[in-house]
Amino acid sequence: MDPRTSLTALRDFCAEHLGPGLAERVAGLARPGFALTPAAPDQAAGHSRFGGDPLLEPGVPWPTCEGLPMSLLAVLDTDALPPWLDGLLPPGTGLLNFFHLDTESEQSDPAAWDVVRELGVRAPEAGCVVAARSRLAVETGPPTGASVFAPVAWQAEPGFVLPDLFDDAWDTLGLGLGADHDAVQAFTYELHNGLSVPGEPRSEDLAFGRPVFPTGSAPLLPDGEEAESYHHLLQLSDKHEWSIGGDGGWMHWSIPTRALRAGDFTQAIPTPDIW
């Protein structure tokens, strides 16, 4: 299904539950995303995968936090994603390498826990995204102290993602109190409890789209930042060899939308969901 057809199906679905006026506003909150699921090598979205070694341009330093090396958690090959992002990324963005300081796996350096305990797992310094142009990127072995996780290739299935029940995005509708507010609230609870949305990417690992918050939390952004000024980059569930611990323990990275459109991934930050 192409993006236009999928978005029309989503609007029709919302209209069935909310009526045409509200449906258009609610469907306007949907963002294109990609369900990431294990794939055979010939079905993978380019170099997209969980784990393995990062793909970096020669000379790019390995990211660190307080002098400790971060660990590579995932690679997203944006050049190989289906063309659903509608100009959100600059052409030739290439590969995105997602790093975070490992504190929970059997490989983790005990000193990392001391750092995260002081800074907090949500600290921008504890994670980063390093972009690399596909034609220049090479697999880069880790320094001592970085964890390496078994690679799992991903395929990427596109679709549109509505906000999670706990996402502040619903507040941007400005519904106040009344029938419209009650209708949308009932709709979001139905979505949360399993109402099937046509064409929605179905995977606990997700590229772009909107984040899910199994702990009942919300986007954890720097103080004073508006959630809708950020764009979701990647969601990793707690089903992997790596974990951030706690209850829930789903990892996310987000980036200011203006930085995403400019291709400035130095502004990407970890926005985990954890209690």
> What per-residue confidence (pLDDT) applies to 275?
64
- Global pTM? 0.93
In three-state secondary structure terms, 99 is strand
Assigned domain for 192 exists? no
pLDDT band at 74 (very low <50, low <70, confident <90, very high): very high
Assigned domain for 127 exists? yes
Task: Return d(Cα 130, Cα 88) in angstroms, integer.
Answer: 18
The arithmetic mean of pLDDT across residues 103-112, rounded, is 85
pLDDT digits (tens, 9 = 90+) for 85-107: 988 999 899 999 999 998 888 88
Q: Where are the alpha helices (DSSP H) in the chain?
A: 3-18, 20-27, 110-119, 179-192, 257-262
- 254 φ, ψ to 5°? -135, 165
For 104-109, the CB contacts below 8 A with 24+ separation are 104/242, 104/243, 104/244, 104/245, 105/147, 105/149, 105/241, 105/242, 105/243, 107/71, 107/147, 107/148, 108/147, 109/68, 109/145
Report yes or no: 234 and 209 within 8 Å, Cβ to Cβ.
no
pLDDT band at 248 (very low <50, low <70, confident <90, very high): low
Residue 250 structural domain = 35-161+203-270
Assigned domain for 256 exists? yes
Assigned domain for 178 exists? no
pLDDT band at 37 (very low <50, low <70, confident <90, very high): very high
Number of domains in the chain: 1
Assigned domain for 170 exists? no
Assigned domain for 22 exists? no
